[in-house]
Structure 1
């Protein structure tokens, strides 16, 4: 799995923190890692973007960003408003492929959900994943509404001939309710893919050393971690 594309079911679901956790676990397993942010929006030129945040939390990764637009909007809209060239799927694929020749693992982080538009032609992260023939990890919310959004995302991936690698819950609350507990069982059933982890809410405020030590505990073995779905369900239910 030299390239792994990471998408969310929407905005603010914990995609960047999950990307950092996957990077940290891979680094801990002795792999070299690059992180590519396809298009950064809503961040000023002097502010760190998502790729830099992944590097801060995870450690010695190669952080790359294709374009940055000031408005917190979909990349195509933000590029148009800024009067700048958009990012296109082939730009993402070409950069990721080059990084893959120099690293054991390349993580390509999207912007928002799978079908958020990068350019005026309707190019998306899904198109970039297709060009790369890369599996796609889906980051989902923990609570009410996540079943529909996550099932739609995995269905769209399959309809395009893409492989959904699994689902990671991006922000597991300290005090989960009924919906969260039920979703632990229901997400694999409605999506047909395994639940590969749950990152605790607030993980991004941990000191980097603590984040790196803890990251493997939040992710399944497929992502270089030690997290076990059944054990997590049992612990949370108790």
Structure 2
């Protein structure tokens, strides 16, 4: 039975890619067959393109990767596609593609773009829809588990943003499996220290991992060796 982990975030830039790499690296170290899927990547065109998140994940984790859509401008996917004049798959098509990959792997990690409600297609579909549709489709099909992990910040504002995200998941009957603090500072202040406890107290969701700030700059072998220790 394939395990599916959907990685979302409370916002853009919170550390989803590095968290996805850490989840994948931990499973690869356990000898699992791992695929990380990025349904939509934006910002990869122009004179100063962003790196493909999926390339970062592959380099750090050693997992297999799959990017379904790449768009030039660093905008929400539906906006970037409209401005670029291209048609992009619907969320339903993304779900079907992900499901087709499941039999070949022990773990499939699905990394979102931006926050939970960022629009991934021209019909208003979001990562929330992917998480919901995968959860209920796999539950009906064979009971394969889907775990939704929310990557959040350590500092001020994270409690509100994380509660909003977990509330949105529960509104569609998807219980978040855990939180990952995406960039834990080397010298945390009072806010960070309190938030580390309060995130679980206020959301009812456990903190599964705390990723140190700058982890994405580690050499791949250092990243893979260190990643398992970030999980509680």
TM-score by length of 2: 0.91
SS in 2 for 1:113: coil
The answer on 1:29 being equivalent to 2:30 is yes
1:18, 1:170 within 8 Å by CA — same for their partners in 2? yes
Structure 1 counterpart of 2:178:
166
2:72 to 49, 70, 88: 70
2:90, 2:122 within 8 Å by CA — same for their partners in 1? no
Query: Quick one: distance in 1 between partners of 2:36 and 2:129?
Result: 18
Structure 1 counterpart of 2:90:
88
SS in 1 for 2:123: coil
SS in 1 for 2:65: strand
User: How far does the alpha carbon of each residue in 1:56-78 deviate from its partner, in whole angstroms, 9 at most, with x for none?
Assistant: 0001x221011111110111111
Structure 2 counterpart of 1:99:
101
Structure 1 unaligned regions, length at least 5:
220-226, 228-238
TM-score by length of 1: 0.89
Query: What are the within-5 Å matches in structure 2 for residues 107-118 of structure 1?
Result: 107-118=109-120
Structure 2 unaligned regions, length at least 5:
136-145
The answer on 1:137 being equivalent to 2:136 is no
The answer on 1:54 being equivalent to 2:57 is yes
Runs of 4+ in 1 over 4 A off after TM superposition: 45-48
Structure 1 counterpart of 2:205:
193
Query: Quick one: distance in 2 between partners of 1:150 and 1:86?
Result: 29
Greater Cα shift, 115-124 or 13-22 = 115-124
1:17, 1:54 within 8 Å by CA — same for their partners in 2? yes
Alignment root-mean-square deviation, CA: 1.4
User: How far does the alpha carbon of each residue in 1:136-188 deviate from its partner, in whole angstroms, 9 at most, with x for none?
Assistant: 10000000000000001001000001120100000001111110000011000
Query: Quick one: distance in 1 between partners of 2:94 and 2:131?
Result: 9
Query: Quick one: distance in 2 between partners of 1:167 and 1:128?
Result: 18
Deviation of residue 89 (structure 1)? 1.2
2:43, 2:50 within 8 Å by CA — same for their partners in 1? no
Query: What are the within-5 Å matches in structure 2 for residues 174-189 of structure 1?
Result: 174-189=186-201
Query: Quick one: distance in 1 between partners of 2:181 and 2:51?
Result: 24
Query: Quick one: distance in 1 between partners of 2:117 and 2:12?
Result: 12
